[in-house]
Amino acid sequence: MALVVQKYGGTSVGTVERIKAVAEKVGRFHDDGNQVIVTVSAMSGETNRLLGLSNAISSSPAARELDVVVSTGEQVTIGLLVMALIELGYDARSYTGGQVKIITDSAHGKARIQRIEDKNLRNELDAGRIVVVAGFQGVDESGNITTLGRGGSDTTAVALAAALKADECQIYTDVDGVYTTDPRVVDCAKRLDKITFEEMLEMASLGSKVLQIRAVEFAGKFGVPLRVLSSFKEGPGTLITCEEDDSNMERPLISGIAFNRDEAKLTLRGVPDKPGVASHILGPVGDANIEVDMIVQNIGGNSTNDFTFTVHRNEYHKAIEVLTKVAKDVGAAELVSDDKIAKVSVVGVGMRSHAGVASTMFRSLADESINIQMISTSEIKISVVIEEKYLELAVRALHTAFDLDVHEDKD
């Protein structure tokens, strides 16, 4: 008998009909002799609606109370899914994060799971029940409700699978696997049979929201077999694996292209070129709890530098405030900022052993007359910042340049 954790995302439980269809799918799995723990997201759009309500009351809602509100979406879907299972004749029970005892730290809105008590869940499974657990939520040691960040139900699923040593964690969503890039942007994107944890981690952190980054981290750390599949159509999906597949001689250099529009860029021009300046600039930014992503420093002239970095777009205004003050303190000539940028990244473990990826990338962007504003690299990825309006063009051009296009039906 296998123990499987299945997660159904917002679109998959977006209507009453879809919840009923999920109940049938889960039930069939149980009929086949498997033990099943299901975790669900809120119905699609619900978390945004709850955030909207909160923001209509306060421009900066108290973090503890915001979690009380936004965690309710998942409480609705676990109850509805269990009702649907009972209608079909299955013995099933719902659990909130607090009822399971998914214990997190107290960082409201981005809490990290510290441990999961498995006793209740084991007892339910031993009694032959299907257990449905609310995604995205936990409680801290004092019993305060916490949430795990957007897309956090993926992490709930993987953490449950790790805690219960499940045979597989299956993430059911509205696409039938992980593609070479977002299939909603590039029609001829290709579904991957496999992708390594390392690549998936880069893809997720660089903007591919098909899996939450923490879920991938968790699965890699605890060796949880993880698969992304469609809720709506049968198929093998994509397996996230530990091994690099050396048997495939035709393995492409690049496994995928990720992108995001969530960043903004700030530049301090004419910063005196002397020791300690970078820390004088980034120190106050860190103190204001603003995370910095890419950083570039260029030598200007007259012993000065231009210092550029990117932050999340949500923190753009806060970053401008901090830098306006810093600019005076360090004697910079001017502050220039831009929130109409996008980051495009090519990712692939094949890059380690092959030169030429950067030149192919830069040439294909140049052929489309797309200017590269910033570049950053790691062993298995190259990212560039470009003007936001060229994002889709850039992703398509790179997809073709790295030979990733397919020309058959997918969905």
Amino acid at 76: V
What number of chain residues touch ligand ASP (CB under 6 A)? 13
Q: What is the DSSP letter of 193?
A: S
Task: Based on the shown chain and the rule CB under 6 A, indicate whether residue 175 belongs to the binding site for ligand ADP.
Answer: yes
Task: Based on the shown chain and the rule CB under 6 A, indicate whether residue 42 belongs to the binding site for ligand ASP.
Answer: yes
Task: Based on the shown chain and the rule CB under 6 A, indicate whether residue 151 belongs to the binding site for ligand ADP.
Answer: yes
Cβ atoms of residues 153 and 97 within 8 Å: no
User: Shortest Cβ distance from residue 171 to Mg ion (Å)?
Assistant: 8
| Of 4, 5, 9, 43, the one binding ligand ADP by CB under 6 A | 9
Nearest to 25 by CA among 75, 93, 81: 81
Amino acid at 243: E
CB proximity list for 360: less than 8 A, separation 6 or greater:
401, 402
Per partner kind, with CB cut-offs from 5 to 8 A, the member of Mg ion, ligand ADP, ligand ASP, none near residue 208 is ligand ADP
Q: What is the DSSP letter of 339?
A: -
Instruction: State which residue, 11 or 146, has the beta carbon closest to ligand ADP.
Output: 11
Task: Based on the shown chain and the rule CB under 6 A, indicate whether residue 41 belongs to the binding site for ligand ADP.
Answer: yes
Applying CB under 6 A, which part among 15-23, 149-157, 255-263, 282-290 lies near ligand ASP?
Answer: 149-157
Angle made by CA atoms 134, 233, 213, in degrees to the nearest 5: 45
Phi-psi category of 209—alpha, beta or left, where left has phi over 0 and alpha has psi -120 to 50?
alpha
What number of chain residues touch Mg ion (CB under 5 A)? 2
As given in the structure block, the two tokens for residue 24 are 């049938």
Show contacts with ligand ASP in window 73-132 (CB under 6 A): 73
Task: Based on the shown chain and the rule CB under 6 A, indicate whether residue 172 belongs to the binding site for ligand ASP.
Answer: no
Report the alpha-carbon distance of residue 375 to residue 106 in Å, rounded.
Answer: 36
Cβ atoms of residues 158 and 224 within 8 Å: yes
Task: Based on the shown chain and the rule CB under 5 A, indicate whether residue 151 belongs to the binding site for Mg ion.
Answer: yes
| Of 27, 98, 135, 256, the one binding ligand ASP by CB under 6 A | 135
What number of chain residues touch ligand ADP (CB under 6 A)? 19
Report the alpha-carbon distance of residue 126 to residue 380 in Å, rounded.
Answer: 44
CB proximity list for 370: less than 8 A, separation 6 or greater:
386, 387, 390, 393, 394, 397
Applying CB under 6 A, which part among 51-59, 116-124, 170-178, 310-318 lies near ligand ADP?
Answer: 170-178
Beta-bridge partners for 115: 103
Applying CB under 6 A, which part among 28-36, 174-182, 281-289, 397-405 lies near ligand ADP?
Answer: 174-182
Per partner kind, with CB cut-offs from 5 to 8 A, the member of ligand ASP, Mg ion, ligand ADP, none near residue 98 is none
Task: Based on the shown chain and the rule CB under 6 A, indicate whether residue 153 belongs to the binding site for ligand ASP.
Answer: yes
Applying CB under 5 A, which part among 71-79, 111-119, 146-154, 227-235 lies near Mg ion?
Answer: 146-154
Residue 231: alpha-carbon gap to chain centroid: 19
Task: Based on the shown chain and the rule CB under 6 A, indicate whether residue 152 belongs to the binding site for ligand ASP.
Answer: yes
User: Shortest Cβ distance from residue 97 to ligand ASP (Å)?
Assistant: 12
3-state secondary structure of 409: coil
Per partner kind, with CB cut-offs from 5 to 8 A, the member of Mg ion, ligand ASP, ligand ADP, none near residue 174 is ligand ADP
How far apart, in Å, are the Cα atoms of 69 and each of 42, 51, 55, 73? 12, 8, 11, 8
| Of 256, 260, 271, 386, the one binding ligand ADP by CB under 6 A | 256
Amino acid at 149: G
Report the alpha-carbon distance of residue 215 to residue 240 in Å, rounded.
Answer: 11
Instruction: State which residue, 135 or 183, has the beta carbon closest to ligand ASP.
Output: 135
Task: Based on the shown chain and the rule CB under 6 A, indicate whether residue 10 belongs to the binding site for ligand ASP.
Answer: yes
Instruction: State which residue, 22 or 330, has the beta carbon closest to ligand ADP.
Output: 22
Report the alpha-carbon distance of residue 226 to residue 181 in Å, rounded.
Answer: 19
Torsional sign, CA 333, 338, 341, 343: positive
Task: Based on the shown chain and the rule CB under 6 A, indicate whether residue 47 belongs to the binding site for ligand ASP.
Answer: yes
Residues that bind Mg ion (CB under 5 A): 9, 151
Q: Binding residues for ligand ASP, per CB under 6 A?
A: 9-10, 41-42, 47, 73, 135-136, 150-154
Q: Which spans of this chain sit near ligand ADP (rule: CB under 6 A)?
A: 9-12, 41, 151, 173-175, 178-179, 181-184, 208-210, 256
